[in-house]
């Protein structure tokens, strides 16, 4: 348990607003947790609470057994948590290579990041601003893994990507998680992707956890997906 | 052209330009020394404004601290130039570090106003401490020992120019290395998106304090050079007006590019020099008009414009 990241009865939001309530879940190294829910349900807030970008009103967040609720974001990253935001946030005025090196100067990590996303190797001298959406997403993930995380949190990584690029991105993530034994939290609107990729799924409905279990249990349950996500799993 | 060739070429530009300027203006080396010193302080400002994206009107605080520090050291301790230079750098770094501890908790307009406030406070402290600083009379009668025990400072500013040019060159090479290092990349990344850098493990506050302190040390070096070569230090070195002048030079040359800072200082000082000869009262009018044209038509400054022109001639898209 001490190697996990954990949300313990977390109430979190922005300013005085509480966006999620009573969220309790932990993720072990090598485990893949998917988070599903409608837009505005609070999925992103759960990730942001772990990184300190959302205010935790009650409860605690832990990394490797340490309570990091009050710690700044950079310390949480040093403890092994990296996030790939929905907005990608590549550094637009830096080249691909500089984007990667801004996260870590480790040449070995740079080679590794390029091995995971060979496309980036061809674009090393291009500015972040000049990349396509798919390339920006690859860069955002590659930059996160430059920090050698033990847990990778991905916020809607497939949003706006063509099916081919989305497939390539998920393939790379799958290889990375499997090969390196990373714990992974995936927030995603593509229900089928989550159900196929993840070991466990949490469904968020109006800021609360409506379901936490395996993909099989979720599909067997029947009504939650259509109610909380708005579509069937197929 | 390889990166090595580019680096060697870039490293040679300042010495070659110094030789060329000394040949073209053989009787104005004191003025050329002032250009080199001003270029140094503009480079230091570029670290904060261009690379870190922090708009400041407070750089005179560090420049002035360096100038007064070096002057007091020469007057009361030892008039040896190189140790005086170090004292000036340390004075600038100290003021920068202490003010950064407050400044780096602020953002945007609050940050800008605080930089002005800190400079004004320092200005008034120096103004009121007449017994030590000479108040509004400033410090004068600074007579430096020969540089390296050999080279005497002369009335025509020959040594002053070469001394300032060498310091500028060394600092420029150092900064080229720093801005390309992970430390420099992080500064630019913070400028683009500080929150993202934090989630990638970057300590934004610590990084900004370190960068501001480094910038302050360089501004302090420039102040010390001015004190040692002009042999007078006045309150102007601590004024917000001086801060604004160097900001104008940076914008003129192109912020976020070290060459831009150098070019901006050179062009501004030349315009100042010659426009003031034509009209000593309204010379700022020329500078203002040129600045408006640059901001409107060359948003990346003179150096950005030159770069775009060269790329166009080579048939390349601008960076």
Q: What is the residue-level pLDDT of chain A in tens, covering all 234 positions?
A: 578 999 999 999 999 999 999 999 999 999 999 999 998 999 999 999 999 999 999 999 999 999 999 999 999 999 999 999 998 889 999 999 999 999 998 989 999 999 999 999 999 999 999 999 999 999 999 999 999 999 999 999 998 888 898 998 899 999 888 888 999 999 998 899 999 999 999 999 999 999 999 999 998 887 888 887 776 544
Q: Left, alpha or beta for A133 (phi > 0: left; psi -120 to 50: alpha)?
A: alpha
Distance from CA of A159 to the nearest CA of B (A): 19
Q: Is the pLDDT of residue B317 over 60?
A: no
A chain contacts of residue B183, beta-carbon cutoff 8 Å: none
Give mean pLDDT, residues B288-306: 91
Q: Do A89 and B193 touch (CB under 8 A)?
A: yes
In 3-state terms chain B splits into helix, strand, coil percentages (rounded to 5) of 80, 0, 20
Q: Do B188 and A105 touch (CB under 8 A)?
A: no
- In this prediction, residue B156 carries a pLDDT of 86
For residue B39, give the 3-state DSSP assignment.
Answer: helix
| Among candidate residues B192, B172, B203, the one with its CA nearest the CA of residue A98 | B192
A183-187/A151-155 β-pairing: parallel
For residues A153 and A50, is the Cβ–Cβ distance under 8 A? yes
pLDDT-above-70 percentage for chain B: 97
Q: Residue B286 domain-assigned?
A: no
Give the pTM: 0.90
Distance from CA of B183 to the nearest CA of A (A): 8
Mutate to test the interface with B, among A91, A97, A139, A151 (most CBs of B within 10 A): A91
Q: Is A70 exposed, middle or buried (0-12, 13-18, 19+ CB in 10 A)?
A: exposed
For residues B68 and B126, is the Cβ–Cβ distance under 8 A? yes
For residues A22 and A11, is the Cβ–Cβ distance under 8 A? yes
Q: Residue A105 domain-assigned?
A: no
Q: Residue B71 domain-assigned?
A: yes
Q: Do B182 and A51 touch (CB under 8 A)?
A: no
Rounded Cα distance between B72 and B87, Å, is 10
A chain contacts of residue B197, beta-carbon cutoff 8 Å: 74, 102
| Among candidate residues B304, B186, B245, the one with its CA nearest the CA of residue B39 | B245
For residues B250 and B264, is the Cβ–Cβ distance under 8 A? yes
- In this prediction, residue B1 carries a pLDDT of 53
Q: Is the pLDDT of residue B284 over 90?
A: no
Distance from CA of B94 to the nearest CA of A (A): 26
Q: Residue B313 domain-assigned?
A: no
Q: Give phi and psi for B262, each to the nearest 5.
A: -65, -45
| Among candidate residues B228, B40, B206, the one with its CA nearest the CA of residue B142 | B228
What does the pLDDT look like over A93-140, one tens digit per residue? 999 999 999 999 898 999 999 999 999 999 999 999 999 999 999 999
Give the one of A77, A83, A91 whose C-beta lies nearest to B189's C-beta.
A91
Encoded tokens for A104 = 């870590």
Sign of CA dihedral B32, B33, B39, B41: negative
| Among candidate residues A196, A138, A141, A155, the one with its CA nearest the CA of residue A39 | A155
**What are the E-state strand segments in chain A?**
5-14, 17-27, 32-37, 55-63, 66-67, 81-84, 151-155, 183-187, 200-205, 208-213
Q: Do A74 and B186 touch (CB under 8 A)?
A: no
What does the pLDDT look like over B50-76, one tens digit per residue? 999 999 999 999 999 999 999 999 999
CATH number for the domain harbouring residue A189: 3.40.50.300
Domain count for chain B, please give it: 1
Here the ipTM equals 0.85
Q: Residue A103 domain-assigned?
A: no
Residues 6+ apart with CB under 8 A from A149: A77, A80, A81, A82, A182
Rounded Cα distance between B152 and B145, Å, is 7
- In this prediction, residue A182 carries a pLDDT of 93
CB atoms within 10 A of CB A134: 18
> The domain containing residue A167 runs over which residues?
5-88+150-229
Give the one of B188, B192, B198 whose C-beta lies nearest to A72's C-beta.
B198
> The domain containing residue B174 runs over which residues?
3-239
Residue B31 CA, distance from chain mean position: 16
Domain count for chain A, please give it: 1
What does the pLDDT look like over B129-184, one tens digit per residue? 999 999 999 999 999 999 999 999 888 889 999 999 999 999 999 999 999 998 99
Rounded Cα distance between B23 and B230, Å, is 22
A chain contacts of residue B209, beta-carbon cutoff 8 Å: none
CB atoms within 10 A of CB B239: 18
Q: Residue A189 domain-assigned?
A: yes
Which position has the token pair 């290092």? B181
- In this prediction, residue A229 carries a pLDDT of 77
Mutate to test the interface with A, among B178, B191, B197, B199 (most CBs of A within 10 A): B199
Rounded Cα distance between B186 and B277, Å, is 44
Rounded Cα distance between B131 and B236, Å, is 18
CB atoms within 10 A of CB A72: 15
Distance from CA of B180 to the nearest CA of A (A): 9
Give the one of A77, A94, A105 whose C-beta lies nearest to B189's C-beta.
A94
Half-sphere exposure for B215 (CA within 13 Å, toward CB): 31
Rounded Cα distance between A202 and B87, Å, is 61
Cα distance between the two ends of chain B: 17
pLDDT-above-90 percentage for chain B: 81
Closest alpha carbon within chain A to B197: A103
- In this prediction, residue B318 carries a pLDDT of 53
B chain contacts of residue A74, beta-carbon cutoff 8 Å: 197-204
User: Which CA distances in Å does B43 have to A45, A99, A135, A143, B37?
Assistant: 42, 24, 35, 30, 10
- Determine contact: A105 vs chain B, CB below 8 A: yes
For residues B202 and A74, is the Cβ–Cβ distance under 8 A? yes
Distance from CA of A93 to the nearest CA of B (A): 7
- Determine contact: A132 vs chain B, CB below 8 A: no
Q: Residue B231 domain-assigned?
A: yes
Encoded tokens for B265 = 């200082």
Q: Is A187 exposed, middle or buried (0-12, 13-18, 19+ CB in 10 A)?
A: buried
B chain contacts of residue A147, beta-carbon cutoff 8 Å: 200-201
- In this prediction, residue B100 carries a pLDDT of 98
Q: Residue A99 domain-assigned?
A: no
């Amino acid at each position: 348990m001490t190697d996990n990241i954990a949300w313990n009865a977390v109430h979190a939001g922005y300013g005085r607003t509480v966006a999620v309530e009573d969220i309790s879940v932990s993720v072990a190294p090598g485990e893949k947790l998917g988070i599903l829910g409608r837009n505005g349900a609070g999925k992103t807030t759960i990730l942001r609470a772990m990184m300190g970008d959302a205010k935790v009103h009650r409860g605690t967040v832990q990394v490797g057994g340490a309570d990091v609720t009050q710690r700044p974001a950079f310390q949480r990253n040093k403890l092994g948590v990296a996030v790939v935001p929905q907005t990608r946030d590549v550094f637009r005025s830096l080249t691909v290579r500089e984007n990667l090196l801004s996260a870590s100067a480790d040449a070995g990590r740079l080679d590794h990041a390029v091995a995971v996303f060979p496309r980036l190797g061809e674009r090393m001298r291009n500015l972040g601003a000049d990349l396509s959406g798919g390339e920006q997403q690859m860069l955002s993930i590659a930059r996160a893994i430059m920090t050698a995380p033990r847990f990778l949190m991905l916020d809607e990584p497939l949003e706006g990507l063509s099916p081919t690029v989305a497939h390539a991105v998920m393939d790379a993530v799958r290889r990375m998680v499997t090969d390196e034994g990373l714990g992974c939290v995936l927030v995603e609107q593509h229900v089928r992707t989550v159900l196929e990729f993840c070991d466990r799924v949490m469904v968020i409905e109006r800021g609360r956890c409506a379901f936490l279990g395996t993909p099989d249990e979720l599909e067997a349950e029947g009504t939650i997906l259509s109610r909380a996500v708005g579509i069937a799993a197929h | 052209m390889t990166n090595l060739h580019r680096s060697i070429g870039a490293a040679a530009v300042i010495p070659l330009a110094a030789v060329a300027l000394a040949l073209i203006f053989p009787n104005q080396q004191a003025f050329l020394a002032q250009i080199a010193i001003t270029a140094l302080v503009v480079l230091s400002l570029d670290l904060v404004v261009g690379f870190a994206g922090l708009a400041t009107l407070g750089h005179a605080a560090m420049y002035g601290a360096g100038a007064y520090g070096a002057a007091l050291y020469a007057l009361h301790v030892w008039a040896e130039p190189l140790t005086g230079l170090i004292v000036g750098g340390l004075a600038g770094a100290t003021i920068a570090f202490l003010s950064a501890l407050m400044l780096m908790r602020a953002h945007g307009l609050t940050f800008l106003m605080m930089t002005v406030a800190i400079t004004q406070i320092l200005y008034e402290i120096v103004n009121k401490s007449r017994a030590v600083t000479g108040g509004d009379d400033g410090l004068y009668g600074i007579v430096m020992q020969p540089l390296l025990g050999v080279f005497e400072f002369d009335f025509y500013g020959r040594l002053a120019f070469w001394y300032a040019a060498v310091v500028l060159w060394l600092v420029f090479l150092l900064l080229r290395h720093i801005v390309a290092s992970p430390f420099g990349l992080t500064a630019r990344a913070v400028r683009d998106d500080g929150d993202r850098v934090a989630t990638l493990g970057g300590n934004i506050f610590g990084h900004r304090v370190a960068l501001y302190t480094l910038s302050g040390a360089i501004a302090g070096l420039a102040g010390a050079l001015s004190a040692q070569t002009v042999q007078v230090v006045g309150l102007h070195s601590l004024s917000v007006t001086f801060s604004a002048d160097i900001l104008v030079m940076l914008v003129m040359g192109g912020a976020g590019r070290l060459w831009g800072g150098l070019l901006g200082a050179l062009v501004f000082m030349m315009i100042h020099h010659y426009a003031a000869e034509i009209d000593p009262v309204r010379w700022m009018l020329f500078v203002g008009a040129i600045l408006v044209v640059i901001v409107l038509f060359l948003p990346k400054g003179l150096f950005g414009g030159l770069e775009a022109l060269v790329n166009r001639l080579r048939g390349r898209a601008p960076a």
